[in-house]
A and B are shown apart, each in its own frame.
Chain A
Amino acid sequence: MAATKLMLVDDEAPFVETMTKRLVRRGFEVVSAFSGPEALGLLKRLTDIDVVILDVKMPGMDGIEALREMKTAYPLLEVIMLTGHATVESAIEGMKLGAFDYLMKPCDMDQLLSKVQEAVAKKRRHEEKIIEAQMKEITLRRI
């Protein structure tokens, strides 16, 4: 089974670097971006990202904007939001736009990991359902 591929998006470089190291150590494949546009660019090239961990407050394109674009372009992609300033409003907005969940910084590693696992599970189930439907469609085709 392929390792879960994660993307970290945050403008705070030290945070991203340390988090990447910790996640890699725990067996994940991690890609990082430091801004919304950079993240979107990476997603175009890399099609096997499972979960995006996205900071809400970033200079330039902010997290909500990036989230919207991502969900529009890649609906199956799961996004977990990270926020440093806990406005319930932005969390709700994110959820409405299709984010999987949100966490507040500083976040607990175990908490993060469990959320990531849930997100991955959901994505996998989704993908399986699509394959099932495709297979059904094929088998029902009587030639």
Chain B
Amino acid sequence: MISKKHHDASYYRLLKTNMAFIIICVSLAPLIAIGVVALYNFQKSYYDKYVDHLETLVLKHKLQIDSFLTEKLADIKVLARVCSYEELSDEAFLQQRLEDLREEHEGTFVDLGVVRQDGFQVAYAGPFRLARVVYSEAEWFKQAMQSDSYISDVFLGMRGLPHFIVAVKKSRNGEEWILRATIDFMTFNSLVENIHVGRTGQAFILNRRGEFQTHRQTSRGNSLEFTLDFLTEPLGRNRVDVFEGADKVGKKIISVVTTLKEGSWLLIYQQYEADLLSDLYHTRQLALAIFLIGAATVMTTAFILSNRMVNHIIVTEREKEMMNEQVIEAGKLASLGELAAGIAHEINNPVAIMVEEAGWIGDLLEEEEFRESENLKEVKTSLDQIRVQGQRCKDITYKLLSFARKTDPQIKEVQLNELIEEVVNLSRQRAKYSNVRIEMNLAPDLPLIQVAPSEIQQVLLNLVNNSIDAMDKEGGTLGFVTRLEDRAVVVDVSDTGGGIPEANLPRIFDPFFTTKPVGKGTGLGLSICYGIIHKLGGEISVNSAVGIGTVFHVRLPLAKSATQDAGSLPGDTFPEMREAPSKTTSGVVPFPKRREESITGGQP
């Protein structure tokens, strides 16, 4: 019979792929989902927090700058109120006041000046030669004359250096005059220059016409062109606005804008979005790297796992097939047994009748009328034959019946020698026809073994049939030896047949392995034997030489009662083991006992 493989290699390959695929999908899908969701939310909140932070920063600086300006203006206002025009027009006095201011505000005030309403500077205190200069055409002067106090934009002016003016207008006797001070540009600039976060952030101040009031940090990139669009936007006072844009090459820029000097100036903070989010991008890359490594691990594991699992399935299915075969064989044997029982009974009755009839005929022959018959002797011989053959029928059927009786798989304590004898009885005829002599060397007083009798008979029958097959043509000797060895019962089944070639020896217990022609052997006999013996806790092994013969050694564990009786048995080769307490249910003292003493039930 060809082995029935229900699934072929491509089925298993497909199974492996499917399994791996499912594992990968199920593992990676949540991972991806989490990654995407978490990263997206993280990114959003990070960005928002960052922008909040910038807004706060810019607002803080706005307040700082505004208060700086207000403070300076206040100083001049106080000065103009406290001192009179005449006092201030005195240059020495003015100089003193300048010193006072400069001392308090370390270097913020550059100079002071008093200017008449026609633009003529009547007094000047400061480092530049600006005495008697006329400012009538100067932009700042025109503006200053129009309101009580005025702060100018940054400009170069007559001195040729960037500065801005803080001016206060007072009137005296119907005439107006201006007290003005110059604020040091560098100090002012440093207030703004220090605002930066990250590598690309920069802050600067523009007036409403887009002119820089602070140093433009050209090293930080050309960002001016695009910023003009929000100059026209209405911007709230005391409020910070955030704009998003891009530079010439398309890199995203974020601008935080607020007003200064009551709306006439704009404080702008700009930064490349990439710089701002650099930490975030770093995190994203890390997450991606981890994900990729994780995904790679998951995929590798999935493939390995599914591979292993499907291989296991292959092995298990094979075992299952083998088991099925064994069950079928056992079933056949069982039903055969039942059939045999029925047939045996059916046969015995007719046979009994035949024997009785022959007996009756024999009785009748005692009558006078037959005494002188010529063929009397012949008839009597024939009648005797009938009786003998009837007896033979009886023997055969009873052997069959006793074998059939033992098909229940319950494990019992049995005597191996008896099982062997039964099997031999069954096989005697077949052995005779194959010219095989049976030799029995069964050890007397063999301890009982704990097995399922029908299974052991199955094994023995299998070995016997194999042996007889091996000796089929030329005949030979079939030998049985039973002995006790190392606390186990051993039976050696030997034959003088052709032997097993060394190449085949390791494979004989493999399922579906047979050297018989197709249809003659299933290849399952020895593998079933192997399975049975191992299930019972025993061992089966073989020695064989081509041309000489084969021996199968079957080792079976002792029955519990047998181990109880035998504290120490002949054949124990490990003296240490004798000292160890034997596991008896009666709690017997663990002294080594001689075997004869310890077996209960009377030993001659």
A-side residues, CB < 8 A to B, are: 12, 14-15, 18-19, 21-22, 25, 57, 84-87, 104-109
Contact = CB atoms under 8 A, between A and B. Distances in A.
Interface residues of B, number: 23
Contacts of B351: 105-106
Nearest to A55: B349
Contact of A22 (B344, B348, B359, B393): B359
Given A14-B357, A15-B356, A19-B356, 5 more contacts: A86-B401, A87-B405, A105-B351, A106-B356, A109-B359
A106 B394 contact: yes
Given A12-B349, A84-B349, A104-B398, A18 B344 contact: no
5 contacts: A15-B349, A18-B360, A22-B360, A84-B349, A106-B352
B208 interface: no
Nearest to B347: A84
Contacts of A86: 398, 401-402
Contacts, number: 59
B401 A15 contact: no
B352 A107 contact: yes
Nearest to A109: B359
Contacts of A104: 348, 394, 398
A84 B352 contact: yes
Interface residues of chain B: helix, strand, loop or mixed (majority): helix
Nearest to B348: A84
B290 to A, nearest CB: 75
A109 B362 CA distance: 11
A60 to B, nearest CB: 16
B289 interface: no
Interface in B398-412: 398, 401-402, 405
B254 to A, nearest CB: 101
A19 B360 CA distance: 8
Contact of B345 (A19, A57, A109): A57
B380 to A, nearest CB: 15
B450 to A, nearest CB: 22
B253 to A, nearest CB: 104
Nearest to B355: A106
Given A22-B360, A22-B363, A86-B401, A12 B345 contact: no
B285 interface: no
Contacts of A15: 349, 352-353, 356
Contacts of A84: 345, 348-349, 352
B353 A18 contact: yes
B363 A14 contact: no
Contacts of B356: 14-15, 18-19, 22, 106
A53 to B, nearest CB: 12
Given A86-B398, A86-B401, A106 B357 contact: no
B400 to A, nearest CB: 11
Contacts of B355: 106
A84 B348 CA distance: 6
Contacts of A21: 360, 363
Interface string B354-371: 111101100100000000
Contact of B348 (A14, A25, A106, A109): A106
B345 A85 contact: yes
Contacts of A106: 348, 351-352, 354-356, 390-391, 393-394
A105 B349 contact: yes
B107 to A, nearest CB: 127
Contacts of A18: 353, 356-357, 359-360
B341 interface: yes
B93 to A, nearest CB: 145
